[in-house]
């Protein structure tokens, strides 16, 4: 990868931490304070879906060869999850720009979409990394997970008194991936046919 691509990938991941984790966490707390059920439900669903992104970081730490594929699937699912629900979309459209929470949520959804597509485009510029993340040309994709690795390593050592290694990260990541997709399949078979694109955020009354 040339210097421009390296800088672009690095910047994409730095922005992704802000827009995939930082801003939605702030919006989630904000929606609780404002008691806005629509935004709260949207972010609750988003956090469930975003677990796949954390799993992909574990797989990157473990140098799983298809980790970048999982990363892209996770960002696309996260973006899909914030646009999918008809009842939430209808609720958000009823607010004007005077509602700072709703306006920020709308802007964040578009920013999330841009970040997700940007990561996908960056990935296709190094398409060989989809199937072999361990090659030297793909090293830049492994760097963003290094800080996450240090955090988990310290926590693992604190709670279990053992070293958190790359093989352990790979095992936990693959096991979590299996559980995640089983849950996703269950939702697609049971809940999706029943509720469709209705998130049911207003079952207990609207804000």
Over residues 149-201, the pLDDT tens digits come to 777 777 777 666 667 788 888 999 999 999 999 999 999 999 999 999 999 88
Residue 140, token pair as written in the block: 């830049």
Residue 47 host element (H or E): helix 37-61
User: Cβ of 79: how many Cβ atoms within 10 Å?
Assistant: 22
Residue 91, token pair as written in the block: 């609720």
Indicate if the pLDDT at residue 50 is higher than 90.
Answer: yes
pLDDT for 200: 84
Q: Is residue 207 part of a domain?
A: no
Q: Is residue 201 part of a domain?
A: no
Q: Is residue 202 part of a domain?
A: no
Predicted TM-score (pTM) of this structure: 0.86
Q: Is residue 204 part of a domain?
A: no
Nearest to 191 by CA among 45, 32, 39, 38: 45
Q: Is residue 206 part of a domain?
A: no
**pLDDT confidence band for 84 (50 / 70 / 90):** very high
Q: Is residue 120 part of a domain?
A: yes
Q: How many domains does the chain have?
A: 1
Residue pair 185/177 in contact by the 8 Å Cβ criterion: no
The boundaries of the domain holding residue 132 are 3-195
- For residue 34, give Cα distances in angstroms to 102, 171, 205: 11, 40, 15
pLDDT for 207: 41
pLDDT for 4: 58
Nearest to 28 by CA among 48, 44, 5, 9: 44
Q: Is residue 205 part of a domain?
A: no
Mean pLDDT (the chain, rounded):
85
Q: Is residue 54 part of a domain?
A: yes
Residue pair 118/12 in contact by the 8 Å Cβ criterion: yes
């Amino acid at each position: 990868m040339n210097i421009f691509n390296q800088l672009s990938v690095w910047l994409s991941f730095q922005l992704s931490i802000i827009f995939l984790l930082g801003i939605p966490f702030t919006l989630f707390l904000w929606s609780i304070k404002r008691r806005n059920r629509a935004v709260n439900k949207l972010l609750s669903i988003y956090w469930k879906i975003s677990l796949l992104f954390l799993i992909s970081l574990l797989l990157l730490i473990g140098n799983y060869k298809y980790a970048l594929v999982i990363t892209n699937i996770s960002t696309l699912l996260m973006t899909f999850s914030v646009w999918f629900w008809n009842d939430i979309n209808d609720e958000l459209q009823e607010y004007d720009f005077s509602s700072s929470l709703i306006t920020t949520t709308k802007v964040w959804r578009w920013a999330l979409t841009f970040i997700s597509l940007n990561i996908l485009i960056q990935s296709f510029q190094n398409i060989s990394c989809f199937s072999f993340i361990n090659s030297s040309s793909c090293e830049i994709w492994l760097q963003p997970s290094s800080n996450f690795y240090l955090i988990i390593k310290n926590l693992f050592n604190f709670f279990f008194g053992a070293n958190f290694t790359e093989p352990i990260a790979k095992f936990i990541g693959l096991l979590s991936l299996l559980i995640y997709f089983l849950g996703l399949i269950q939702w697609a078979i049971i809940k999706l046919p029943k509720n469709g694109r209705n998130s049911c955020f207003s079952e207990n009354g609207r804000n």
